[in-house]
Chains A and B, each alone.
Chain A
């Protein structure tokens, strides 16, 4: 029996989006990415000819590069890591669309340049040789796994293009750099561009394809950047809303 797959398509930024349905009858335990490849194979082989294959981005095909992030059954994630057999257990049809927080380039391809620009604006780089504090290494390692795929920003209620809030990719990098340096600039950037805009829904942690311990990372960063200043000013009480996050 085949699976009905609905894909939201858009030829380019200026054209109207539309939904198109496909039937997929290949192997079930395959990733959505592999299934899209197979659908494109069918399009190529179809007698009609001239039909445009589905555009999507990929590189590693195994969850290591972040290229293939999209929204499948209303959940953002890496299409090479979401499996058709598991998806059809939830609902009979599979629904695929591009990440909605970024401008569509074509079909499932979006322009994620804003994420990369934010890293530059926030000056997320080392100015001095890294300091190694072995106790911090495991967390530094985890937060450096960020693929810059954009899934967390898709899931985040507070992120939208062009706003000050830059979300977790920048927070993870800021924490890594803070832990390996004496530089306070990262904390300031973090406070301004992440802390102040984050409503702690933590939807990001749920969708992160690398299972980065975002809650732990954010609470650590909050402790060193925000609460340390708070304490300095003699206001010993923790800011409201942060209590739930302080798991350490």
Chain B
């Protein structure tokens, strides 16, 4: 039976582990923390499937159309087709696995409205869909952990791929706290490390998703797609800690967006988009908020926020479906959303781009697969709410099928490659230990500057001048990073390099896409240009820099 290494224990990694273990494959599951700590538990709103139980005549075909339209046709159509077709059966599978989905009066999985979709298609579990799904999948995996089919390595992170010629033979991993290194050879590797939040910092997601793995993979020759496609969720609130998400469910159940114009509430989304109003796809809502605040200068107190109002909704609806929203407002903002509107602004929430994979979740490197938010295939230029939990489960299932079907690599070959990769990693660590440490402040300064540079140049609207300046600044930061050696953490040191490389690839991808599409809006090329650009960007390292092409 195949030996598979999975990196990441969020929903995609766990699903892959469970499916592979059920087939009897030997799985090693590596992650910096327990699955309960992964970003997947934070998902609140729901998971999409055209179950068509609401008498709205829904179908997988319509789910497909909404997904492709939402993604401005940069989605891989075959992969997206697969996604929507598998969705109903995946939601039933999750229900059988013990996910406590909210039920309708007939006892069926209930569905609700979510942005970018005309039909009720989003299954949910109270106000904590991700947590409830994860609890069931974790329990499913537990059985195989107990019998040893799944081996868990917690506290460890991906370090680098073991490459044997053009194929992947396993991974070198690093224990963050001790800096110990270890190589694990395998017939196939599945990357499921989540989105690279660390490149920006203060996103709505988990701090564990530091973006190291993506940058390290890029440096080893893995191809990335659509890196310029970064989702700004329209409704996040600013807290002293980070931007926190106010779930789309708030608008799904009737929450309204407004600003004051001549002292009166002006519901701009409803006026501009009478059919779907505040439930337009996220890119459209975020861009509308930007316009209201910057072109019309109607943001609250002249700033970048607008009001999200749920105070008119029945108390029972807020209590049962939006309790998390209430809790965030009360705890972090001292605000009572039953009575007051919530000041919201767009914030970074999801990375549509990532490791380029096909509909089988194969990458450009043989025996290397990727699933979940770290991979790109389903969502194109903009992801619909509820499609990413779906993409994580679906990706886990498909990647497990593909990885489970590879032929054995031959342990002798893999072992040699593994020893070589481990020796190289250990050598680099030793060299690092021999260099002079800098004050921690030098390191954190570069990190902070990278974050503000990325927010500045890769915001909701982008332009050539700023992107070119960002390119130059990143090169300078790379120089400084080389001098600002982290005083004690080799892993953190490497993470900064990896983040800078990924940031560079994001900026280069944004420069090449000379049009406006989905989450990528350029003030200097404000129109969509299907003739030239209805294709994903591909970024890879080449000749010491980043090369970007389309197709």
Give residues in A with beta carbon < 8 Å to B: 27, 29-31, 33-34, 37, 41, 43-45, 49-50, 52-53, 55, 57-67, 80-81, 83, 105-106, 109, 112-113, 116, 119-121, 123-126, 129-130, 132, 134, 137, 140-141, 144-148, 173, 176-177, 180
Contact = CB atoms under 8 A, between A and B. Distances in A.
A59 B439 contact: no
A27 B36 contact: no
Contact of A67 (B33, B102, B146, B444): B33
B140 A125 contact: yes
Nearest to A48: B439
B462 interface: no
Q: Which 3 A-B pairs have the closest CB atoms?
A: A129-B96, A130-B98, A49-B439
A139 B143 CA distance: 23
A137 B103 contact: yes
B148 to A, nearest CB: 11
A130 B97 contact: yes
Interface string B436-448: 0001110110000
Contact of B331 (A33, A81, A140, A176): A81
B440 A67 contact: no
B100 A105 contact: no
B128 interface: yes
Given A59-B206, A137-B103, A177-B139, 17 more contacts: A27-B240, A34-B241, A41-B444, A43-B440, A44-B441, A45-B444, A50-B487, A59-B33, A59-B37, A64-B128, A65-B41, A65-B206, A66-B36, A113-B154, A129-B97, A130-B99, A137-B102
Interface of B: 33-34, 36-39, 41-42, 95-100, 102-103, 107, 125-126, 128, 131-132, 135-136, 139-140, 142-143, 145-146, 154, 177, 206-208, 240-242, 244, 327-328, 331-332, 334, 439-441, 443-444, 487-488
B103 A29 contact: no
Contacts of B487: 49-50
Contact of B37 (A65, A141, A145): A65
B100 A144 contact: yes
Contact of A57 (B33, B97, B102, B441): B33
A149 to B, nearest CB: 8
B203 to A, nearest CB: 11
A141 B125 contact: yes
Contacts, number: 137
B177 A106 contact: yes
Contacts of A105: 177
A133 B142 CA distance: 24
Nearest to B108: A132
A48 B162 CA distance: 40
B107 A29 contact: no
A52 B437 CA distance: 13
Nearest to A123: B146
A180 B98 contact: yes
Given A30-B241, A177-B139, A60 B444 contact: no
Given A34-B241, A62-B328, A180-B98, A125 B142 contact: yes
